[in-house]
Amino acid sequence: MINLLKLKNKSFIPVSEPLLSKKDIYHINKAVKSGWISSSGEYLNNFEKNFSQYLGVKYSTAVSNGTAALEIALKSIGIKKNDEVIIPNFTIISNALAVIKLGAKPIFVDCKLYDWNMDFDLIKKKYTKKTKAIIATHIYNFPCDIVKIKKFCLEKKIFLIEDAAETFGLDVNKKKCGSFGDISTFSFYANKQITTGEGGMICTNNKKIIQKCQDLKNLCFGKFDRFNHNDIGWNYRFTNVQAAIGYSQLQRIDEIVKKKQTIGTIYYDNLKENKNIFIPPPQNNKGKKNIYWVVAILIKEKKFTAKKIADILKKLNIETRPFFYPMHRQDIFKKLNYNFEKQSHPNSDFISKYGLYLPSSLKIKKKEILNICNILNEVLK
């Protein structure tokens, strides 16, 4: 075994790092100079309009973050106490929190072992008469079975909320991810395809739903007596300065997606022969493309957990992130006596223990990727 310290990077490689172009900075300065720095302004209007056009939907409204988008989305369609909402067990906790905050019950569905999206066969089994909606979240690389899920929701006459935060820019059957749901949500956090630092978007083709969302994100001010509020809303507004960044980055979204896919393909080409590593290919057997929002790997050599590999890479100046922690094992839900831990979700348990994702920001250099692959191939040979 070679001395891994010889492969140590001279400079630290972050797992993700936002890239702001000269045009982004130009639009930020323009927004600031205009004086419209709060929740109104030309950039905000144009960003929402352009986002709708890109996605192929009628309406979009920007909010403070992706979690806020989910909370507003659920309330806008009338989810209430004791309703059931089917969500992935392997996902960011925002999906579950949005359900629980409304007093509804999240119904967890396990993922597929090498796809990491919800298993559609299990979705059908978890449906009951109390089911009011499904949150279909696209996870990491490939889109979930969104066409099947949409058809199922139509048959059962329940709402489809499509969380497309991780697959913005990806197509399914020539339609954009995020254009399938009755309502769809996005995040513009620093590690997303386009970023505004923090931020999110809600999209729909339903005029009543978008009007409700616009009220909910803005404290539900009264239409006639402004400070006589008509519902419990939130201050989840988005600023014109953030919109200036989003407006600028949206203009090069196709270029960004292509770059992410190039980065992922380099990793894939250099790790695919390693029998102790699973890395998703650029295209799966169903013809769906991989967006490589993150370059995620699953360790098949059981003597190495993801944490052990992460610790080795950290010593070599390489940052990683663990996979999501399963919803049914979250400490907060144990404290709230939900007893989710009694449920069985073996695939989520396995991949959360053996999965991690690697540096893949738009700033990463090819030689850095090759060095990371060399290290992994040496450790996991």
* Per-residue model confidence as pLDDT tens digits over 93-123: 999 999 999 999 999 999 999 999 999 999 9
Pick the last residue of a domain from 222, 250, 278.
250
* Per-residue model confidence as pLDDT tens digits over 302-356: 889 999 999 999 999 999 999 999 999 999 999 999 999 999 999 999 999 999 9
Smallest CA-to-CA distance from 57 within 179, 162, 147 is with 179
Overall residue count recorded for the chain in this entry: 381
> In terms of DSSP H, where are the helices of 109-168?
120-126, 146-156
Please indicate, yes or no, whether residues 144 and 204 belong to a single structural domain of this protein: yes
For residue 360 the two structure tokens come to 């893949």
Please indicate, yes or no, whether residues 118 and 70 belong to a single structural domain of this protein: yes
pLDDT given at position 301: 83
Please indicate, yes or no, whether residues 241 and 144 belong to a single structural domain of this protein: yes
Please indicate, yes or no, whether residues 222 and 340 belong to a single structural domain of this protein: no
Task: Name the residue type at position 141.
Answer: N
Please give the Cα distance from 69 to 345 (Å, whole number): 27
How many angstroms separate the first and last alpha carbons of the chain? Answer: 10
Pick the last residue of a domain from 211, 226, 250.
250
Please indicate, yes or no, whether residues 245 and 257 belong to a single structural domain of this protein: no
pLDDT given at position 302: 82
User: What CATH number corresponds to the domain at position 143?
Assistant: 3.40.640.10
Please indicate, yes or no, whether residues 11 and 26 belong to a single structural domain of this protein: no
Please give the Cα distance from 289 to 142 (Å, whole number): 7
Q: Pick out the chain residues at pLDDT < 50.
A: none
State the total domains in the chain.
Answer: 2
Q: At what angle do helices 240-250 and 42-55 cross, to 10 degrees?
A: 40
Please give the Cα distance from 253 to 21 (Å, whole number): 13
User: What CATH number corresponds to the domain at position 370?
Assistant: 3.90.1150.10
Q: How many CB atoms lie within 10 A of CB 8?
A: 13
Beta strands in the chain (DSSP E): 59-63, 84-88, 105-109, 131-137, 159-163, 171-172, 175-176, 183-187, 200-204, 277-278, 295-299, 321-322, 355-358
Please give the Cα distance from 8 to 317 (Å, whole number): 7
Please indicate, yes or no, whether residues 217 and 366 belong to a single structural domain of this protein: no
pLDDT given at position 360: 97
Please give the Cα distance from 301 to 107 (Å, whole number): 32
Beta strands in 156-212 (DSSP E): 159-163, 171-172, 175-176, 183-187, 200-204
Please indicate, yes or no, whether residues 282 and 213 belong to a single structural domain of this protein: no
Task: Specify burial of residue 81 (Cβ count, 10 A radius: 0-12, 13-18, 19+).
Answer: exposed
Instruction: Please list, in sequence order, all residues whose beta carbon lies within 8 angstroms of the beta carbon of residue 309, skipping any fewer than 6 positions away.
Output: 299, 320, 356, 376, 379, 380
pTM of the model: 0.96
**Residue 43 domain boundaries:** 22-250
Q: Give the angle subtended at the CA of 194 by the CAs of 255 and 351, to the nearest 5°.
A: 100
Pick the last residue of a domain from 196, 220, 250.
250
